[in-house]
Amino acid sequence: MTLAEPKQEASWLTEQLKDLANQQPQFEDRALLSALIPEVQDLAERREQLAGEIDGRSWSFN
């Protein structure tokens, strides 16, 4: 199984959340889905940082 790049995955999920938010009649539902977008982007960034850290540690022989 191949994992998608965190930024690509976040981009797809962000688009899905936007589409879902636009379909919601209730303000609370739209607000919740819209509030998830920055969280998804932050998690993708953190995931990318952790992948780089793991890669860097695997090359370190200390």
- Give the integer Cα–Cα distance in Å for 45 and 55: 15
Query: What local confidence, expressed as pLDDT, does residue 52 receive?
Result: 78
CA dist., res. 31 & res. 19, Å (int): 13
Domain spans in the chain, listed from the N-terminal domain onward: 6-56
Q: Which sign does the torsion angle of CA 27, 14, 17, 39 carry?
A: negative
pLDDT at res. 60? 66
For 16-55, write each residue's pLDDT tens digit. Answer: 999 999 999 999 999 999 999 999 999 999 988 888 777 6
pLDDT band for 3, please (50, 70, 90 cuts).
low
Does pTM top 0.75 for this prediction? no
